[in-house]
Structure 1
Amino acid sequence: MKAFIFLLMCGLGAGTLAAQTLTGKVTDMKQQAVEAATVVLQAADSTYIDATLTDSLGVFRFGQCPERYRLVVQHLIYQTLVREGSGANAGTLVLTPKDYALGEVTVRGERPLVKMEGSRLTYDVAQLAASRLVTNAYEAVLRLPGVMEQNGTLTLAGTGAVSLILNGKPSSLTYEQMVSLLKAMPASRVERAEVMYSAPPQYHVRGAAINLVVKGYKVGESGLQGEVNGNYVQKDEAGGSGGVTLAWLSERWDVDAMYNLKDRYYRQGMDFRALHTVDGETHDIRLPDNGWGRSLTHTFRLGTTYKPTADDRLSLSYMGSLKPDGKSVMDAWGNVTNSHNDKRSDIQLHNASLNYTAGFGLSAGVDYTYYKDENTQDFTDTESEPSAFRSDSHQRIDRWKVYADQSHSLAKDWTLNYGTSFAYVDDRNSQRYDQPEMSGENTESRIDEYTYNVYAGFDKAFSPQWNLSASAAVEYYRMADYRKWAVYPTLSLNYIPSPSHIFQLSFSSDKTYPDYWTLSGSVSYLNGYQTSVGNTNLRPYSDYTATLTYIWKNKYILQADYSYVPDYFMQMTYLDSHELHAVYNYQNWDFIKLLTFTAVIPFKAGTWWDSQLMLNAQLKHDKASDYFDAPFDHKRWAGIGQWTNTFTLSRKPDIRLEVSAFGQTGSVQGSYSIGAVGYVDAALRYTFANGKAMIQAKGTDLFNGMNRLNIESRNGTQHFDMRVKNYERSLTVSFSYRFGGYKKQEAKEVDTSRFGM
């Protein structure tokens, strides 16, 4: 703790500093926003630094702010304006009309899809929302080049899982709550999305990340604002959600409140077949199962931000999630079991966060998360032992995090960043069975986890063509007898020979730790033949990724990635060679290696057809030389394609159709060989009431392609097939209405990736 206090004092000690971003607004003489005006940023000696376009609100932003600068604003029908200044807020720049008048002239142009800002690839979300059929921020994220949704999780091509950040602040919502929040946020309220293949350490995430920047407070938007929304989802059974978000905005105070109720129904199943060899004797196993689940989740948030000056913020927020009566049922039958598994759960999460951001570059805060999961299982089986039991499982987690970050803009375009953080987790797990003969499987554990982190980095613009960003974080991690020092370097080198050609080379490093419940070593019975077993000896794995990106004409993207992940782990099925049981558990492998090539090709035909094709080819190598008695060493190429098409059927009224398709060839995953899979979605949207109201009907997985996922293993004595049924086909009818110029407030993400049973 003394070491952390010293690091925190170092992070807080700072001199005068200039903000890293430069923003302003362009209007005409009637104070109306001027969209698509070109704003050129120059040094005081007129040296070119960067250029951008104003958005629909007339706002422009640069990712850097020299101590002194010149702004040159140009537009077809206005006189060129030159303004010199200093400071992060350039204020309002008023354009004067040219002396001549244009008649009935229509000017058409194409704004750039992507722009390089330092180490970030910045996308104009307003442009994406205008050209794609998206209704919320989450759908807008899915339209970013290279972003896909796999098994309900966002992934970034070549890097796997991606972290989500709002407004550059450290995270404090769960991933599920973050997704729920983004789905409730209108896409029109997101100003831009910043994709980072190597996130700088001041974001307090490592590896690939997407930072969504929400449009800030604007003059004239004070008062009460909000949104009501709801949807009806029809699968085998009905579900849906609804909510309301309110915000009171003013020059000094922002207050927001949110409530969302979600009724979720899901169904799943699998046909499992195996030739299971036990002590030299082979058993023919046939085991179909089918299950469903339903939960009612209440999510609520209350937050306030005080703004004593234009550059200072003091924010306090509370976030809660209650899932009081979750239920899941799974039935399995066949020649080895005839079981019924009934589970009930009560989950709650509470998070409180305090953050202070100063105009001189300091950002410091503390947040606390409380998580509790109580789970009851009633199990019966007429074919195997144990024949019937009841188990009670409990997990409680208390987590504290304190952080401080500092940034300085120095002479000659140098920027210095440094900071520190400390996290403490108290995790308590228990599982007890009611049968005396099962008492040996009772578990009770407590985990105290300490993480100390300090980092330093810099940004340097060597010229308008070359820019370098580099950092290193030193981390000390302690949990029980496991103690580890680690260094996490990141690097991003940009080369822009001309506005039409952008190159970026990035490198990132990361470490992933097992979830707490797996480390408890608990045993869970799925049916009479299959069990899920924890691993108290599971080690964290590291991830080293290098990415080379080329962007042509600010829209066509080519990318190559290489990742090396030693000690990787994931849950797989193992057929026990001494007992007639299949075990789902986590084991460390030697490594996985990934070589990935990605191409993003947008296409337009007039104003009625807007298309984007994403192609991905990946060579994957999975190796585990000490995986029970069934080591594996598999390597295979796989291809992924995603094609999204938006058709404007009518502008008045505003009716649009979107058809998207996804396909993946066969691939490998550990000892598994996974068959090809694909799906087609379609949506029809009608927007009315001056863009404030929307009704949409969407069909998901129209041809039931995700219900035919085939997995097989042919690895020594490991001989089995799984046909997974996901039951993703659904019809969703959505409605939303915004009032008062609604602006969604910033919320943080609580990381619960290691929580839960």
Structure 2
Amino acid sequence: MGVMNACTKTLLSLLMTLLTGLTCLATDYRTLLRDKSTGEAVAGATALLMAPDSTTIAVVVSDAEGAVRLSGEGASCLRISHLMYHPLMVDLVGTTLPDTLRLEPRSELLEGLVVSAERPVMKLLEGGISSYDVELLFEKSPVSTAYEMLCRLPGMREESGVPVLTGVSGFTLVMNGKPSSLPQDQLLEQLKSIPVSLVASAEISYTPIARYRAKGASVNIVLKHQSRERITSGLSAQLFGTYTSQYYSRYAAGGSALYTSPSGLSVSGRYRAGLGDEISDQSVVTGPLGSLPEIRTRNVGKSSFTTHTLSLDLGYRKGRHDLSTTYYGTFSPNNHFTERDIERPHPIEQEQESQRQTHHLSVEYGYDGHLMVGAFYTDYHHSQSVTYGTGLDATPSEAFAFDNGQRSRVVGAHVDNSHWLGGGWGIEYGSKFSLSHTANRQQYWVVAGETQTTAPTERVSRELLADIYLGVKKQLTSALSIDATLIGDYARYYGHEETFRLMPQASLLYRISQTDMLQLSFNSQKKYPAYFEREPFSTQRSALQVWQGNPDIRPFVTYNAQAVYVLRGKYQFVISDNYAPHCFIQQMYLDPELEKIVYKTWNWHYYNNLSLTAVAPLPKTDWWQGRLVLDVGSTWIKLDVPFVGTVDRRRTYLFGSLSNDFVLSERNGLTAGLDLSYITGSMQGIYDISDLANLSARMKWVSRDKKWSVTVRGNDLLEKGSPRVRANQGVQQFDFVPSRHGRNFSLDIRYTFGNYKSVKSPSLLDTSRFGM
């Protein structure tokens, strides 16, 4: 432990010394290139940073937005050259480089020659990031919210209610280029309240971006008022109401409002309220278990809920300075759940009463797009009361009753910075820490039909997580670049273990042309268990089912290697291998000693997945556009199965999806969509999962003034989107259906008002874990 602390202190000292000295190594030069006649961005121009003796200090090619960024010491001038424009020389001695440079078109070009092209849906940004113009991509698609937009981006799909990026094991969601300290499920919930009309672009990166705290793939959602090159002002607001029918009915209503001023002030707020009922229908049929010939159970339940979600953002931008503060809160004050095992001759009813709330506050400061400093505080509270069979006249022997709860408080901070050095070199570095204090409490009042008077079981855990990273990148030529990052990850569980691990990341990018790209990358990412999964608690779910905590579970590191090829700016091909030694996933298994079904999370030997993914937009017409996604992969796993031993398995799967958007009447604002996806049988641990198919349809009407919209959707129309699970490993013999009634229909009505306007043309847009 002493050696580890010494190594940590040495690394921190070296990095701090490096950070304090780097700020004066080189001067950053940034500008935007524009056509003097049209104001359009000038892409593909060569920018040379030159010394007084005319030697070249740095060279770069302007990107699709016309942005130029160089760094060097002792520069005297900047030379801009392009085949279609006159050369431009800018003196840098004793003056500041203008924010925008306007190039004069060559007068000797043929006046009668006009070159026109479609506005690109996707642009390749620095680092091989695919940036999608959301307004153009979904202009004829019945998409209403930022969440729906995310699920329908090229390569994205929704799986079991969660957005998935095909070809990778997971992704980090980022808002406006700023890493968030909120859990990702809460960020996704925020997107459901953001109108798609407020989204400027979506950026997908298959390689790690250190400033995003993304150790793997990432998706950055950029809102229009957060674009540095699109100055906006005015007020925009939207009200919505949604009705969903899925066996029972659910309702949601709320709104969002955004105000921005040319002075740089922005204020936004979002509120969403939901209430209704949801059905749960889970069944298990087992083989012989202990003295029992079989277990046959089907738990059918009804959940009644009320939720409130509120988020407020206050931002101020002046020059190169950017300051913002965010509050996010969720409240579920009255949740009631009842469940019965309808396979029993005389079903016993389980009742649950619960409430939960989350408060999150963060402050962020940014400077010139490369320095980010922030701090956050999160408070989470959950309480639950469960009874099973205690309300009957004669208390059965299986009856139980207990209360449990969790209170978590997390505080943290981060700093991230980057510099461009001379000779095409760049460097980025930063650090983040979080300190959590979690209290879990559980008390049984009735066990096996007998009243208990024992004291409650309480456990308090503290956890310190910190990381520090240092990355370098080199622009070898105008088309070829490389970067590498080393991350030091430190974790301390007070009263338990202390770990420090070095994790490398690297990538190589080759720009074949403005629209073609090849990228090779390797990254590693550490994953932590949820707070409650490490607790030594056992919780009854029914007379035959129990959930068990696991104090022995440990974090694991997953390693990912991949190659990404982008063709013509729209076709994508990804080869990826994901290897995760000691990974953990919750599994269900049979315990012949307890004669019960147990749910538990534990570490496996390893998980490995090799996949090939292709994303292709289909030829577009005036009334139809479509996209095809194909993914073929093979999975290897090895794990120790309770009461069975070590199991080594392999299985190949195939996934395909076809998305279609139709323009029924452009004059009347009618659009429709039809999506079909299919995945062959797969596996997870000891589970064999059945084939899944999903057919969804939607139709949307938008008024001529763009203020009203009505959307009707039908999801899982074939009722084939819910998995059927089977296990056939020794004593682990069972058929498991985790849910039924997947088909649902919804009606969404929205009204938009306000005078939110862009001062500049859109072409100037620069889109550079609680136990809930």
- TM-score scaled by structure 2? 0.86
CA distance in 2, matches of 1:499, 1:742: 33
Instruction: Work out which of the residue numbers 229, 246, 259 in structure 2 matches 1:235.
Output: 246
CA distance in 1, matches of 2:119, 2:558: 38
Are 1:472 and 2:480 counterparts? no
CA distance in 2, matches of 1:570, 1:202: 28
Which residue identity does 1:623 align to in structure 2? K
Q: 1:293 to 1:485 in 2, by over 3 A?
A: same
Which residue identity does 1:379 align to in structure 2? Y
Deviation at 1:38, TM superposition (A): 4.8
Are 1:425 and 2:436 counterparts? yes
- Which stretch has the larger CA shift, 615-624 or 689-698? 689-698
Q: What residue number does 1:413 align with?
A: 424
SS of the residue corresponding to residue 150 of structure 2 reads helix
Q: What residue number does 1:721 align with?
A: 735
Deviation at 1:93, TM superposition (A): 5.0
Contact 1:42/1:48 (8 A) holds in 2: yes
Instruction: Work out which of the residue numbers 206, 231, 234 in structure 2 matches 1:197.
Output: 206
CA distance in 2, matches of 1:603, 1:414: 40
1:611-650 alignment to 2 at 5 Å? 611-625=626-640, 627-650=642-665
Deviation per CA, 1:262-299: give whole Å up to 9, x if none: 22542221231111331xx5512221121222322111
Which residue identity does 2:713 align to in structure 1? K
Q: What residue number does 2:541 align with?
A: 526
Deviation per CA, 1:18-44: give whole Å up to 9, x if none: 898967586887xxx867x55334222
Q: What residue number does 2:176 align with?
A: 167
Q: 1:443 to 1:408 in 2, by over 3 A?
A: same
Are 1:306 and 2:295 counterparts? no
Instruction: Work out which of the residue numbers 369, 382, 390 in structure 1 matches 2:401.
Output: 390
CA distance in 2, matches of 1:600, 1:63: 30
Aligned length: 730
Deviation at 1:64, TM superposition (A): 4.6
Q: What is the aligned-residue RMSD (CA, Å)?
A: 3.4
1:68-467 alignment to 2 at 5 Å? 90-91=99-100, 109=118, 111=120, 113-215=122-224, 216=226, 221-250=232-261, 251-263=263-275, 265-278=277-290, 281=291, 283-307=293-317, 309-334=318-343, 338-359=347-368, 361-380=370-389, 386-435=397-446, 443-467=457-481
Q: What residue number does 2:695 align with?
A: 680
Instruction: Work out which of the residue numbers 714, 718, 732 in structure 2 matches 1:699.
Output: 714
Q: What residue number does 2:770 align with?
A: 755
Contact 1:426/1:449 (8 A) holds in 2: yes
Q: 1:535 to 1:219 in 2, by over 3 A?
A: closer
Q: What residue number does 1:610 align with?
A: 625
Contact 2:145/2:192 (8 A) holds in 1: yes
1:724-739 alignment to 2 at 5 Å? 724-739=738-753
Deviation at 1:352, TM superposition (A): 1.2
Q: 1:741 to 1:559 in 2, by over 3 A?
A: farther
Contact 1:644/1:659 (8 A) holds in 2: yes
Deviation at 1:440, TM superposition (A): 7.7
Q: What residue number does 2:566 align with?
A: 551
Deviation per CA, 1:579-608: give whole Å up to 9, x if none: 311111112110111011111121124221
Q: What residue number does 1:44 align with?
A: 48
SS of the residue corresponding to residue 517 of structure 1 reads helix
Deviation at 1:727, TM superposition (A): 2.2
Q: 1:100 to 1:563 in 2, by over 3 A?
A: closer
Contact 1:153/1:161 (8 A) holds in 2: no
SS of the residue corresponding to residue 211 of structure 2 reads helix
Which residue identity does 1:295 align to in structure 2? F
CA distance in 2, matches of 1:358, 1:500: 31
Contact 1:443/1:520 (8 A) holds in 2: no
CA distance in 1, matches of 2:277, 2:15: 46
- Which stretch has the larger CA shift, 61-70 or 326-335? 61-70
SS of the residue corresponding to residue 180 of structure 1 reads helix
Deviation per CA, 1:301-343: give whole Å up to 9, x if none: 2232233x31101222222111111222221132598332211
Contact 2:142/2:711 (8 A) holds in 1: no
Deviation at 1:180, TM superposition (A): 2.5
Contact 1:17/1:409 (8 A) holds in 2: no
1:499-514 alignment to 2 at 5 Å? 499-514=514-529
CA distance in 1, matches of 2:669, 2:29: 36
Contact 2:31/2:69 (8 A) holds in 1: no
Deviation per CA, 1:668-723: give whole Å up to 9, x if none: 1111111101111111111224334322111111222225x211001011111013
CA distance in 1, matches of 2:247, 2:108: 66
Q: 1:41 to 1:97 in 2, by over 3 A?
A: closer
Contact 2:712/2:746 (8 A) holds in 1: yes
Which residue identity does 2:656 align to in structure 1? G
SS of the residue corresponding to residue 514 of structure 1 reads coil
SS of the residue corresponding to residue 703 of structure 1 reads coil
Deviation at 1:207, TM superposition (A): 1.9
Deviation at 1:189, TM superposition (A): 2.6
Contact 2:81/2:88 (8 A) holds in 1: yes
SS of the residue corresponding to residue 705 of structure 2 reads coil
Deviation at 1:481, TM superposition (A): 1.4
Which residue identity does 1:396 align to in structure 2? R
Identity %: 26
SS of the residue corresponding to residue 160 of structure 1 reads coil
Q: 1:282 to 1:317 in 2, by over 3 A?
A: closer
CA distance in 1, matches of 2:505, 2:527: 16
Q: What residue number does 1:57 align with?
A: none
Which residue identity does 2:553 align to in structure 1? L
Instruction: Work out which of the residue numbers 586, 596, 605 in structure 1 matches 2:601.
Output: 586
Which residue identity does 2:23 align to in structure 1? G
- Which stretch has the larger CA shift, 318-327 or 586-595? 318-327
Deviation at 1:198, TM superposition (A): 2.9
CA distance in 1, matches of 2:369, 2:572: 36
Q: 5+ residue gaps in structure 2?
A: 50-55, 759-768
Q: 5+ residue gaps in structure 1?
A: 54-59, 745-753
Contact 2:47/2:62 (8 A) holds in 1: no
Contact 2:34/2:42 (8 A) holds in 1: no
CA distance in 2, matches of 1:711, 1:350: 37
CA distance in 2, matches of 1:743, 1:170: 27
CA distance in 2, matches of 1:538, 1:120: 36
CA distance in 1, matches of 2:707, 2:460: 51
Which residue identity does 2:716 align to in structure 1? D
Deviation per CA, 1:477-499: give whole Å up to 9, x if none: 10031111111211111112334
CA distance in 1, matches of 2:25, 2:199: 28
Q: 1:463 to 1:319 in 2, by over 3 A?
A: same
